Amino acid sequence: MVLNTPVNPPEPISYAQAAVRAVQHEMELDANVVVLGEDVGRGGIFGQYAGLQQQFGAQRVIDAPISEAAIMGAGVGMALAGLRPVVEMRVVDFALCGMDEIVNQAAKNRFMFGGQGRVPLVARMPGGIWDASAAQHSQSLEAWFAHLPGLVVVCPSTPQDNYSLLRAALQSGDPVIYIEHKTLWGAQGVVDEALQIQLGQAAIRRSGSALTLVSWSRQALVCAQACDALAAEGIDVELIDLRSIWPWDRERVLTSCNKTGRLLVVHEAVQVAGFGAEIAATAAEATGCRVKRLGAPRIPVGYSAVLEAQSRISAEAVAAAVRSMLP
């Protein structure tokens, strides 16, 4: 008699632990993968590099002085010299100090030199509203980077996505702006380390026929809460988590819009000139569906909880926007 040995399901890990594993595995596979940034030796301010300097040494996990311009410039130089650096900006707000290196060097090099140079770096820039951290530490700037030819832009929302997409970013060969949400580091989820996710591939988190709801990063999780509430009312919404802002999954979004005839794009970023406008315009031109955007007001994020709440897009606001588009 042969007894079947039960297989224990994998234990959930955090969004931060998933990122550590992704970088660790790429560093084990490729000696050219290095990490550069402030506080990376002690594991990063969110624990997203925990244990890596102890495993790989200070020559591959390199602590840098407080100068984002110097860090990004060094990362671009490393990439052009054949390394594959993970460049840590601490938060996306601080990356503004290194924008020239990103905009005029990393993004343009491959084009300006006819492909002779490549900049295979991953710039990690945690983004989004950071609780009680005010205007200079709570910005969502993914649309800025999506506007720049030559950059890939990624915004993972789950531990699985953070693992698979970070590995894909490190393997891509082009500069990737990798924006993890500042408040998702402790989020738990099961991670299948064999699962590969292509850059530019969206996820259908929920199927439905009443309306297509598109979001990304932490806001996709808020939209999922709205979908649960709407489902209790008999409204079946199709929720698409974009995951990659550039390239974005036009085919999957447009297929859904053709099915539902309605599109609502929701993002945590300021609504004015946000990336939701690009998605809405593309869908309207291609399918003729009804479109609506929902984003933050054009105000700095406040420090107090009352002011901060004005910049957040709640599940209740998302559900109300959905209802407003239905017959």
Residue numbers annotated as active site: 137
Residue linked to tokens 């709640």: 314
Neighbouring CB atoms inside 10 A of 260's CB total 22
The Cα angle at residue 153 between residues 95 and 301, in degrees rounded to 5:
50
Contact 48/16 with Cβ under 8 angstroms? Answer: yes
Rounded to 5 degrees, φ, ψ at 67 are -155, 100
Interstrand relation of 13-14 and 188-189 (parallel, antiparallel or unpaired): antiparallel
Give the integer Cα–Cα distance in Å for 27 and 38. Answer: 19
Question: Cα–chain-centroid distance for residue 104?
Answer: 22
Report how far apart, in Å, the C-alpha atoms of 161 and of each of 119, 203, 275 are.
23, 10, 20
CA nearest neighbour of 188 among 10, 23, 7: 10
